[in-house]
Amino acid sequence: MKLHPPHADSEKKANALWRQFSRRDQEAFWKQYEPLITHHKSSQKAPLTTKVPTQVKKSSNRVFHPSLVNYFRSGIIISLLILLSFLPIATTDTIEETIIFPLIYIVFVLVTIAYDLWRLNSFQVREKSLVIQKKVFFMEYYIHWSDIRSIVIERWKNKNESYRMLAIDTYSNGSKSYKFPMSEEAQLEFISLLEAKNIDIKDESQHKSLWSSWFG
C-alpha cells in the first residue's frame, strides 16, 4: 500500500472544502479551512528541523619533537662510534690490550650513545600538564601547569657546542633544566601555546651563528 505524507492529506481536505465553499456560510468554512492550512505549513517545515550531529571535540594535545637536524647529528655520532668499534685491533699477548682495552671502548661507546639519545627530549602540551618525554628510553615526566612558577629558554655553551635548555621553575621541586632541541618554528608555537595557558615564559636564547641555530 502506498503511503502519503501527512501534508498531502491536509491538502486534499483543503481542496475538498474549497469545492464546498458557500458565501452564505463563510464562517463555518474558515473554521475548518484555517487549521488545515496551518497543519500543511508545519508539515512542510518539519524536515528542515533535522538534528545536526555534534562535532567530536578534537584532542588539544600537541607534541614537539626534536628537529630533524638533531636526529641527523645523533645518527652521525652513533654511526661513527659503531664503525670505529669494527676497526682491527693489533693482537698482543698482554691481557690489558686483548680484553680490557676493547671492553673499555665498548663501554665508552654505549655511554656516549646513551648520553646523546638522552638529550633528545620531546615536549607534549596537554590540557592540564606539560610532559617531558624521553621516547628512546620510554620515560615521561609530568609537570602540572598550576605547579609552574616560570619557564625560561636559555642558551648554554661549552667548548664544542651551543644549545638551548628549557629551565622550568616549579613551586614543588624548584628549578630543573631540559635540553630543548626543537626547531625555531616549533619553538615559537610552543611559546604561543604556553602563553595561552597564562604561563610566564621567556625566551633568552639568542642565536649568534648559523651553526647554533641548526643544532639548537
Q: How many CB atoms are closer than 10 A to CB 181?
A: 26
Q: How many CB atoms are closer than 10 A to CB 96?
A: 9
DSSP calls for 25-67: GHHHHHHHHHHHHHHHHHHHHGGGGPPPPPPPPPP--EEEPPP
Distance CA 54, CA 27 (A): 48
Instruction: Provide the domain limits for residue 101.
Output: 62-215
Three-state DSSP class for 204?
coil
Q: What is the pLDDT of residue 205?
A: 87
Tell me what the pLDDT averaged over the chain comes to.
Answer: 75
Distance CA 201, CA 167 (A): 10
pLDDT digit string (tens) for 51-60?
444 443 444 6
pTM over 0.75: no
pLDDT band (50, 70, 90) for residue 134:
very high
User: Which parts of 32-173 are beta strand (E)?
Assistant: 62-64, 122-125, 129-134, 139-144, 148-157, 162-170
Distance CA 49, CA 52 (A): 9
In total, the chain counts a number of residues equal to 216
pLDDT band (50, 70, 90) for residue 136:
confident
**Residue 149 covered by a domain:** yes
pLDDT digit string (tens) for 173-201?
999 999 998 888 999 999 999 999 999 99
Q: What is the pLDDT of residue 214?
A: 46
Q: What is the pLDDT of residue 121?
A: 92
Compute φ and ψ for 92, nearest 5 degrees. Answer: -135, 175
**Residue 46 covered by a domain:** no
**Residue 50 covered by a domain:** no
Q: Residue 139 is part of a domain; what is its CATH number?
A: 2.30.29.30
Closest of 133, 202, 192 to residue 166, by C-alpha: 202
Distance CA 11, CA 18 (A): 11
**Residue 25 covered by a domain:** no
Q: What integer is the mean pLDDT of 25-33?
A: 61
Distance CA 123, CA 214 (A): 19
**Residue 27 covered by a domain:** no
Distance CA 91, CA 153 (A): 51
Look at the chain and report how many structural domains it folds into. 1
Closest of 50, 18, 48, 46 to residue 34, by C-alpha: 18
Q: Give the angle subtended at the CA of 84 by the CAs of 81 and 87, to the nearest 5°.
A: 160
**Residue 77 covered by a domain:** yes
**Residue 164 covered by a domain:** yes
**Residue 192 covered by a domain:** yes
Closest of 128, 125, 127, 168 to residue 148, by C-alpha: 168
Q: What integer is the mean pLDDT of 204-215?
A: 57
